[in-house]
A and B are shown apart, each in its own frame.
Chain A
Amino acid sequence: MPRLTPLRELDFSQERFRILSFRSREDLLASLEAFGILRPPLLWTQPDGTLAIVDGFERLHWAQRAGLKEVLSLVIPPEVSERRCWRIRVQTLLFGMPLNVAQKAQVIARLSDHFPFDQIRTEFLPLLHVPGRPESLESWCLLARQDRGFLRAAAHEEISERVALELVHWESQGAEIMLKILTELKCSASIQWELVERVKEIALREALPRAQVIGSLMDKVFRSPQSHPRRKTQALRDNLAGRRFPRLKAKEGRFQSLMKKAALPHNLRIFHPPFFEGSSWQIQVTFSNREELIELLSVSSQFARSSLMDELLNPGLPEPPQGQEQS
């Protein structure tokens, strides 16, 4: 049963159950100002008799600032263990607003202080919709230890969950630069992952720190402050793709220059097989009348007999770009 609890009995310095949401507090504060505390906070009687806040940090700090003496609260008795309180704390979080990535990370990290991995995996992770692999638990705990800027970006979905859980394994300088780029570009989760994966794989292949890989591209891509984020994103993607797939990009470049040389009409297009794999080439003819079709087919036929077509189909082996072998 809720009871009126004097605020002086609360240990405000004790924040063991606090999970930062990084959400704006404005709506909550406006509600508190207008209506006061509508849902009683949850407190735990610690072994020394003082009360630790389990749920309701914002409400109780507001009450303290507002000069209230007592607040209607639910108080967990001292015989309830801290482990049990954590179970209750998780329940309070699950049935409020959906948990963001930063909150999940903090919960998992705190739970790992109190519960063995198997118990976290079977009891808590399914509730948090987190896969139950040991390395996944490690990543979430590392995420909880990131600085506030990182956690805020994850909480506000400026970086996706997958990206956040990857960046925690990077060396700090590389992660910092990547975070800066991603928050500035505001790209989709799938593009974020593409960028992060490319940088990681180039760094691993070339045995370079990630900061060096991404740092060298930063200058190229971010030199123009006026450029639109979407253009910057595309420039970065192109740069990384060129470095990650140098020979494929070189072949695509050759294909494009051959097409330019062929100077085919705009409504006659040739497509190479995806990744040049296999031998299924395609031609696309767009026409609006019989004469146009006849004309385009005639141009196609001439092109098919030209030496350019030979070059297109049998380009020979290009020289491998310098320094592109795996090291």
Chain B
Amino acid sequence: MRLSPPKKIIVEQKVVDSPLVEQVKRNLPQVPVEVVSHWKDFPGNDPDVLEIVSFRGRLLKSCPGTKHYLCCGYQILHFGTQCTLDCTYCILQAYLNQASLRLFGNEEEIFQALLQELRQNPDTLYRIGTGEFTDSLLLDPWTGFSRRIVPLFARQSNAVLELKTKTDFVENLQGLNHGGRTLIGWSLNTRSVQLTEEPRTASIKQRLAAAQRVSQWGYFLTFHFDPMVEHKDWRQGYRETLEEVFQAVDPSRIVWISLGAFRFMPQLKPIVQRRHPRTRILYGEFITGLDQKMRYFRDIRVELYSFMWEIIRKADPRLCVYLCMESEDIWKEAMGFSPAQKGGLARMLDDAVQRKMSIGLHCSRSAPCQHEPS
């Protein structure tokens, strides 16, 4: 997979001397840099521009779940926004009103906010990710962000870091002191969905080759079949991808696999139709869910999940599999149990961290969810 450099870098004065800006300038010496006094002076609408600004909002926050479906208690470390992978279904098309890639140069503040939170709650186990508003590793070849954050987590006793990606940009992870506290996660799909809906991403083969490499470097792994798409021959497609996963990596290195059927806010539909007129992803049997998002009709979701669950269970019966943003009745119907029977979804995932990674064994609490299920 190749990453095209930006045509221009715009830097806010406040972060002009930050390690991030230094690193980016070193890795992209040919790209012109403009310094502006305030981020509001950026037009922000050019996907070929990389902006590095000082972020002023909350740097660590709970995943924006919904009260109607079970949330996993994931925490998001906010280090940047936007993504140039341009997947047809991407929610960022509707969430963000700026097209430019934006990174936060005040890394020290981000790290301080993180450390403060972890120290204040030593008996809480945090699962923290950076891939909610951008891909965790997409810009890593330029930013080297992983080289600063992975060793930071290696020193924490009550947190693990998950870097989620659709790329194979793992070079920077080699040789780092990760302390077994960083998980590298890949979003996976069938080969045909990757080709039609995620054409700018690394192929499934490339992703799994990267997973194999990081596994050899001692990192733990996660996989996310999200969004799962009902399409022609989906059973065969998902079966093949799962088989490739278990051929590529030792299941004992996989801490969890998540499953999430494609869902979208209604306002995303016209945006996708306009930006990706050839996609057929919107024309499945979608109904309005309890959270007002469009979701596959429940029987389809159950079918997708139970199919995956059966295959994964055969490969490794102890592997933690969870459904992203689903209700108890779907859990029970698809997998025969509900997270409540295991202390809740957040607890289930914390158990997986404690059991497989031996991290946070002293922790008795899970990080809070934004919404408790009703």
Contact = CB atoms under 8 A, between A and B. Distances in A.
Contacts of A135: 274
B232 A327 contact: yes
A198 to B, nearest CB: 10
B99 to A, nearest CB: 15
A18 interface: no
Contacts of A244: 285
Interface stretch (A9-17, A25-33, A121-129, A246-254): A246-254
Given A247-B297, A277-B290, A326 B284 contact: yes
B329 interface: yes
Contacts of A246: 285
B181 interface: no
Interface in B315-352: 327-329, 333
Contacts of B328: 279
Interface residues of B, number: 28
Interface stretch (A215-223, A302-310, A317-325): A317-325
**6 closest cross-chain pairs (CB), A and B:** A275-B287, A205-B283, A327-B232, A201-B283, A326-B231, A248-B297
A205 B286 CA distance: 12
Contacts of A204: 280, 283
A261 B247 CA distance: 51
Nearest to A203: B283
Interface in A200-214: 201-202, 204-205
B287 A247 contact: no
A247 B230 contact: no
A246 B230 CA distance: 14
Nearest to B306: A317
Contact of A326 (B232, B297, B329): B232
Interface size class for chain A? 20 to 34
A275 B299 contact: no
Interface of B: 68, 230-234, 274, 280, 282-285, 287-290, 295, 297-300, 302-303, 306, 327-329, 333
Main secondary structure of the interface of A (DSSP, over half): helix
Contacts of B289: 275, 277
Interface of A: 133, 135, 201-202, 204-205, 244-248, 251, 274-279, 317-318, 320, 325-327
**Most chain A CB within a 10 A radius of its CB, from B230, B298, B327:** B298
Contacts of A327: 231-232
Contact of B297 (A133, A201, A205, A245): A245
A326 B333 CA distance: 23
Contacts of A251: 297, 299
Contacts of A202: 283
Contact of B288 (A201, A247, A275, A325): A275
A326 B280 contact: yes
A274 B290 CA distance: 9
A275 B328 CA distance: 16
B287 A277 contact: yes
B261 to A, nearest CB: 13
A205 B327 contact: no
B70 to A, nearest CB: 12
Given A248-B297, A275-B288, A325 B232 contact: yes
A242 B357 CA distance: 49
B263 to A, nearest CB: 12
Contact of B285 (A245, A278, A279, A317): A245
Given A204-B280, A204-B283, A325 B299 contact: no
Given A251-B299, A274-B288, A277-B290, 8 more contacts: A202-B283, A204-B280, A205-B284, A247-B285, A275-B288, A277-B289, A317-B306, A326-B231
A118 to B, nearest CB: 15
A279 B329 contact: yes
A320 B297 contact: no
A142 B6 CA distance: 37
Contacts of B283: 201-202, 204-205, 326
A276 B298 contact: yes
**Most chain B CB within a 10 A radius of its CB, from A201, A202, A318:** A201
A326 B302 contact: no
Nearest to B289: A277
B327 to A, nearest CB: 6
Contacts of A245: 285, 287, 297
A326 B303 CA distance: 14
11 contacts: A204-B280, A204-B283, A205-B284, A248-B285, A275-B287, A275-B297, A277-B288, A279-B329, A326-B230, A326-B231, A326-B284
A2 B68 CA distance: 70
Nearest to A326: B231
Given A325-B232, A326-B280, A277 B299 contact: no
Given A247-B285, A326-B232, A277 B295 contact: yes
Contacts of A278: 68, 290, 327, 329
A320 B303 contact: yes
B255 to A, nearest CB: 29
A166 to B, nearest CB: 11
B234 A277 contact: no
A248 B230 contact: no
Contacts of A248: 285, 287, 297
A195 to B, nearest CB: 16
Contacts of B68: 278
A279 B327 contact: yes
